[in-house]
Amino acid sequence: MDFRQLEYFCTISKLENFTRTAEYLHVSQPSVTKAIKALESELQLTLIDRRQKHVTLTPEGKVFLLHAERILQDIEETRHDMKRFQLEKQGTIHFGIPPMVEAYLFPDLFTRFKEEYPDMNLDVKEYSDSTEVREKAEAGALDFGIVFSQQCCDEDNEMLIMTDNMSLCVHPDAELSRCEAVSFDQLKHEHFIMQQSNTYQYQHVYESCVNSGFVPDILLCTTQLKTIKQLVANRMGISILPDFVTKQERNFVRRPLAPALKVDICLFWGNNKRITEMDQKFLDFMKRYIASDEFQHNF
């Protein structure tokens, strides 16, 4: 019994015809017939009823089909796993990002990285928030991750990518849009549209509201940044977002907060991570990328 025989058998069970099976697999019909007969001979069972125009499986054949399909699926999964190991031999960085980074910071970073290191791979996964990225990196499931922080600690396992302002996002016809700067005291009676409660944005904005003496009236929490923006544009409420994710928007306006609310975007890796040669190449790339005129101009 070999893989080829199982493939022929599973295909003929679906197509119910030797000729179509041969055409589908790009082999001769005698090859298919010979393989099926050899399989039946080895098992000492009749698997296919050939007495009708459309071949059908015998009761024994139907049971064998369950096993054959499972074996082929296992073989495919094995190939997939082994391919992953092949990619890792070429060099793979396991990289985690929170939602805001995926659409705004990451595409350009990825493009530049692949231009410099075409043989190295970035295995990228999006997580729900910066806390989860940190936890995965500390556990060794990620080599690096991008996280949001109130203040990037100048430690051995963090690298500051950029510091950005968080600004009020408001409909252009709203009264707040006429202010040069807005304090949290002025937001007491506003409806807030936020990310989920475990995100940096939610926690930082919520804390700022409480420090100003009120609990924010939260209209909606959502993981979808597009939804937040559209609801602000629909005048359903306000939001507070980093400038790098809103600078191209034309459906609402931004107003700075007073005092300023800033966010650090950092590259993070686990405290106990052993920096390999491949890791060092990535760190060196990140330093060059952050210092580049293109990055400084875009962000």
Res. 79 pLDDT band, cuts 50 70 90: confident
When the pLDDT of each residue in the chain is averaged and rounded to a whole number, the result is 89
Q: Would 3-89 and 162-264 be classified into the same CATH topology?
A: no
233 has pLDDT over 60: yes
The tokens describing 288, both together, are 């060059």
206 has pLDDT over 90: yes
| C-alpha span between 2 and 52 (Å, rounded) | 27
The one-letter code for the residue type at 83 is K
pLDDT at 175: 95
235 has pLDDT over 90: yes
Dihedral over Cα of 53, 59, 60, 65: its sign = positive
pLDDT at 219: 96
The proportion of the chain whose per-residue pLDDT surpasses 70, expressed as a percent, equals 96
In this structure, which long-range contacts are made by residues 177-180, counting pairs with CB atoms below 8 Å and at least 24 apart in sequence?
177/253, 177/255, 179/255, 180/255, 180/256
pLDDT at 17: 87
Res. 296 pLDDT band, cuts 50 70 90: confident
CB 265 within 8 A of CB 164: yes
Backbone dihedral region for residue 152 (phi beyond 0: left; psi -120 to 50: alpha; all else: beta): beta
pLDDT at 128: 84
pLDDT per residue over 216-226, tens digit each? 999 999 988 89
87 has pLDDT over 60: no
Global pTM?
0.65
The one-letter code for the residue type at 280 is Q
pLDDT per residue over 29-76, tens digit each? 899 899 899 988 998 999 998 887 788 899 998 999 999 999 988 888
Over residues 12-38, mean pLDDT: 90
- Which residues pair with residue 148 across a beta bridge? 265
pLDDT at 294: 85
CATH architecture of 3-89: Orthogonal Bundle (1.10)
Res. 84 pLDDT band, cuts 50 70 90: low
CATH of domain 162-264: 3.40.190.290
pLDDT at 277: 86
Q: So where are the chain's domains?
A: 3-89, 90-147+268-298, 162-264
Of 5, 64, 55, nearest to 34 by C-alpha is 5
pLDDT at 85: 58
pLDDT at 231: 96
Using alpha carbons only, how large is the chain's radius of gyration in Å?
29
106 has pLDDT over 70: yes
pLDDT at 239: 97
The overall longest dimension of the chain from CA atoms, in Å, is 86
| C-alpha span between 207 and 214 (Å, rounded) | 10
152 has pLDDT over 80: no
CATH of domain 90-147+268-298: 3.40.190.10
pLDDT per residue over 162-181, tens digit each? 999 999 999 999 999 999 99
151 has pLDDT over 80: no
pLDDT at 142: 92
Q: Comparing 1-5, 20-24, 86-90, which segment has the lowest mean pLDDT?
A: 86-90
pLDDT at 198: 87
Res. 272 pLDDT band, cuts 50 70 90: confident
Using a 10 angstrom Cβ sphere, with 0-12 exposed, 13-18 middle and 19 or more buried, the burial of residue 224 is exposed
Over residues 97-112, mean pLDDT: 86
